[in-house]
C-alpha cells in the first residue's frame, strides 16, 4: 500500500460489544486486530468525524439548539510482534468520564468489558435529533507527531493520544465504521420507546472519497 499505511485492521470477533440501543442512547464497542503481527512498533490511527444536530427542551420549550461537526485523529500503540493494541477501556469508565450514570445492576450492556474503541451516546430527557459518527482506521509504522496528546481538549478521544491536525502521512484507505442514531427523548416515555430510537451502523473497507460524500449527503438531508 502507498505511503506509511502498512495494514488495514479488522474488528476482533472474540471481544466486542454489538451495536445496541438503550433508553435514550446507544453503544458499540470494538477491539482492533491486525491480520499479521506488527513487523515493528507502530500505531492504529483512526480519523473520526462526528456530526450532531438537534434540540433540547425544558417544559416543552426549546432551550438549546445543537448543530456541530468535529473531526480528529486518535491513536492506539501496537508493539512489534503484537496484533492488538494494549489500550483498553470499559464502557462504564468511559461513561463516567462523560458524566453519564450507568444504570444500577444493569449487566445487559456489558459495561465492564474492556475494548479499544467505544461509540457511545446518551441523551437527557427533552432531547430530539440525530447523531452520526464515522471512523476510518489504518495501521502505520510512523511515530506520532508531537501534536498527538492525551486528554486533548478539542477531541473526544479521552485517554488516547489525539490531534485535530491531519498527519502528513495520513492515507485515505482503511477500515471504515459509521453509525447514525436518530432519537426522540422529549419525555421519559419516549426515551423508553424503542420505536422512537433508530440505530444504523456498518463496517466496510473503503477510502475517504466515500467518507466525504456520505457526510455531504447527511448534511443535505437535514436542510
**Residue 15: its pLDDT value, please?**
85
Please state the rounded mean pLDDT for residues 197-208: 76
Q: What are the φ and ψ backbone dihedral angles of 90, each rounded to 5 degrees?
A: -90, 160
Give the 3-state secondary structure of residue 79. Answer: coil
pLDDT at residue 78 greater than cutoff 90: yes
Q: What are the extents of the domains in the chain?
A: 5-221
| Beta strand residue intervals within the chain, DSSP E | 5-7, 10-22, 25-33, 42-58, 61-78, 117-122, 127-140, 149-150, 161-163, 173-185, 198-207
Query: Under a CB-based contact definition with an 8 Å cutoff, are residues 109 and 20 in contact?
Result: yes
Give the 3-state secondary structure of residue 217. Answer: helix
For the record, the C-alpha cell of 80 comes out as 512489534
pLDDT tens, 131-173? 999 999 999 999 999 999 999 999 989 889 999 999 999 988 8
Query: Under a CB-based contact definition with an 8 Å cutoff, are residues 25 and 120 in contact?
Result: yes
**Residue 211: its pLDDT value, please?**
47
**Residue 206: its pLDDT value, please?**
55
Please state the rounded mean pLDDT for residues 6-13: 94
DSSP code string of 151-205? T-TTSS-TTSEEESS--TT--SEEEEEEEEEEEEESSHHHHH-GGG-EEEEEEEE
Band of residue 96 on the pLDDT scale cut at 50, 70, 90 = confident
| Percent of residues, the chain, with pLDDT higher than 90 | 59
Please state the rounded mean pLDDT for residues 170-197: 91
62 vs 186: CA distance, rounded Å: 10
Q: Decide: pTM greater than 0.85.
A: yes
Amino acid at each position: 500500500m502507498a505511503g506509511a499505511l502498512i495494514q488495514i485492521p479488522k474488528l476482533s470477533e472474540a471481544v466486542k460489544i454489538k451495536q445496541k440501543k438503550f433508553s435514550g442512547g446507544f453503544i458499540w464497542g470494538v477491539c482492533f486486530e491486525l491480520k499479521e503481527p506488527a513487523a515493528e512498533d507502530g500505531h492504529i490511527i483512526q480519523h473520526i468525524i462526528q456530526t450532531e444536530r438537534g434540540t433540547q427542551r425544558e417544559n416543552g420549550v426549546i432551550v438549546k439548539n445543537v448543530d456541530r461537526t468535529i473531526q480528529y485523529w486518535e491513536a492506539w500503540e501496537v508493539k512489534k510482534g503484537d496484533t492488538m493494541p494494549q489500550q483498553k477501556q470499559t464502557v462504564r469508565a468511559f461513561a463516567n468520564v462523560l458524566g453519564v450514570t450507568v444504570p444500577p445492576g444493569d449487566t445487559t450492556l456489558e459495561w465492564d468489558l474492556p475494548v479499544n474503541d467505544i461509540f457511545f451516546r446518551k441523551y437527557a430527557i427533552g432531547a430530539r435529533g440525530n447523531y452520526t459518527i464515522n471512523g476510518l482506521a489504518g495501521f502505520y509504522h510512523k511515530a506520532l507527531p508531537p501534536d498527538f496528546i492525551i486528554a486533548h481538549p478539542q477531541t473526544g478521544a479521552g485517554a488516547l493520544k489525539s490531534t485535530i491536525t491531519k498527519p502528513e502521512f495520513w492515507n485515505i484507505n482503511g477500515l471504515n465504521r459509521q453509525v447514525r442514531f436518530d432519537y426522540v427523548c422529549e419525555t421519559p416515555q419516549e426515551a423508553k420507546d424503542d420505536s422512537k430510537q433508530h440505530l444504523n451502523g456498518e463496517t466496510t473497507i473503503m477510502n475517504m472519497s466515500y467518507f466525504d460524500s456520505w457526510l455531504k449527503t447527511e448534511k443535505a438531508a437535514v436542510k
